[in-house]
Structure formats: C-alpha cells, structure tokens
Amino acid sequence: GQQLNQSPQSMFIQEGEDVSMNCTSSSIFNTWLWYKQDPGEGPVLLIALYKAGELTSNGRLTAQFGITRKDSFLNISASIPSDVGIYFCAGQISSASKIIFGSGTRLSIRP
Amino acid sequence: DAMVIQNPRYQVTQFGKPVTLSCSQTLNHNVMYWYQQKSSQAPKLLFHYYDKDFNNEADTPDNFQSRRPNTSFCFLDIRSPGLGDTAMYLCATSRGLGGGSPLHFGNGTRLTVT
C-alpha cells in the first residue's frame, strides 16, 4: 500500500533554533496535513495544504505542498519549549482514499 | 467550543473482559473514525462511519466493533481484549471524505489490558 516516509525520526533542538522536517512518498497526493501530538493527547491539526506549490503559515510554522505532489515539508522558526512533541504528516491521494499518516518526528529540547 | 470528546481518558480492563469506549462530537461532522495508536507509532485506522454507513479496514480484527446510534456519538467495543490491545484509542471526525475535510481528533482513551 501507499506509504509516507517522514524524516527525521527524532531531533534535538536548542531553544531559538529553526527546525525542518519533511514527508515523501512515491505516490501523488492531493492533500497534505501536518499534526502535532503532545504526550497523552490527541493530534492537533497545524496546517492543511490542498494545492501543489502552496505555502501556508500558522504563526512560526510554515508548510509547503511540494510541486511534484509527492512531498511536503514543515518548518518551525525560533523554536520554544512548547514546540516539543511528535509531529505527524498525513496525506490523502484522492477523495475516495483514506488519510495516511507518516511515522512521526519526535522533537525534543537539547539539554 | 465545538469539539470531539472521548470518555474515559483512562481505562483498565482484564484480559477477555469486554470494554466500550465512547466518543461524542459537537462539530456536526458526517464522518467519525476510530484509530488505534501504540507507543511512538502513527495512528492506525480501524474503521469509520460516513453517516450510518460503516466502513471496516481490511486488517481490523473481528474483536473490534463499532456503533454509531446518532450523528453525535460513536462507540468502540472490544469484545475480548488481549494484552496486545493495550494502546491509545483515538476518535476523530471530519466534515466529509474529500481532501478539504481534515481530521479533528479527540484526546484519546488510553486502554490498558492486564
């Protein structure tokens, strides 16, 4: 079946650093979604992308729908402690297909 | 605030003892989903309802059942829980199935089978 490859699996950041993570697939998607999940909570939608090339911001977060429609990235600028958590990308190939999740990127604060 | 509410937040059950998890929504969304999420993994879709139409994923065990008595409520029934069913169970809703309908998740029920 279709798969989303999300990287990196985990990363350590220092407060104030910019962060970048991405998702790739061999399939073409018509929707890309980015979620954040805090421990013990459900995922929360951060950004939704619906068009190839679309660049959308939500505060310090920016996500882009890749031109090839096979990838998407999420950037976080000037990271703060509450950015810690697991970030999931998710995508949908067509209106008739289910939403597929990446394996997540765990963001931690470097001590 | 419109939201997706799951109860209970934590549930402990014994091996083989049936358990029911509940989900309610005030978003008036057409679609309700149940996901299973094991530690540090992505959510895995079990099944979904589009209105009253039930759609089971091919690899969802028969042990897992669902009911949607009305638009607002959806239940997950695990008939004979095994130790491997220990996980977070997430309910989600969406307006429709199309690309313009992202998932909205509840806070989950953490189930422990002993």
Indicate the pLDDT class of residue B101, thresholds 50, 70 and 90.
Answer: confident
Q: What is the pLDDT of residue A93?
A: 86
Residues of chain A with pLDDT under 70: 1-2, 111
Indicate the pLDDT class of residue B1, thresholds 50, 70 and 90.
Answer: low
> What HEC string does A31-81 produce?
EEEEEEECCCCCCEEEEEECCCCCEEEECCEEEEECCCCCEEEEEECCCCH
Cα maximum dimension of chain A? 45
Q: Tally A–B CB contacts below 8 A.
A: 55
Of B42, B102, B110, the CB nearest to A33: B102
pLDDT tens digits for B44-93? 999 999 999 999 999 999 999 999 999 999 999 999 999 999 999 999 99
Interface test with A, best of B105, B110, B111, B112 (most A CBs within 10 A): B105
CA of B15 to nearest chain A CA: how many angstroms apart? 23
Chain A CB contacts of B97 under 8 Å are: 95-96
Query: Please, what is the average pLDDT of chain B?
Result: 94
Q: What is the pLDDT of residue A2?
A: 62
Long-range pairs for A96-99: beta carbons < 8 A, 24 or more residues apart? A96/B97, A97/A2, A98/B45, A98/B48, A98/B57, A99/A31, A99/A33, A99/B45, A99/B103
For residue B1, how many other CB atoms are within 10 A of its CB? 4
pLDDT tens digits for A24-33? 999 999 999 9
Q: What is the pLDDT of residue A110?
A: 79
Determine the residue of chain A that is closest to B6 in CA distance. Answer: A42
CA–CA dist B7, A26 (Å, integer):
38
CA of B107 to nearest chain A CA: how many angstroms apart? 4
For residue B98, how many other CB atoms are within 10 A of its CB? 14
CA of B91 to nearest chain A CA: how many angstroms apart? 9
Token pair recorded at residue A82? 């509450």
- pLDDT tops 80 at residue B12: yes
Chain B CB contacts of A94 under 8 Å are: 99
Which residue, among A21, A39, A45, A28, has the nearest Cα to A103 in the 3D structure?
A: A21
CA–CA dist B113, A22 (Å, integer):
35
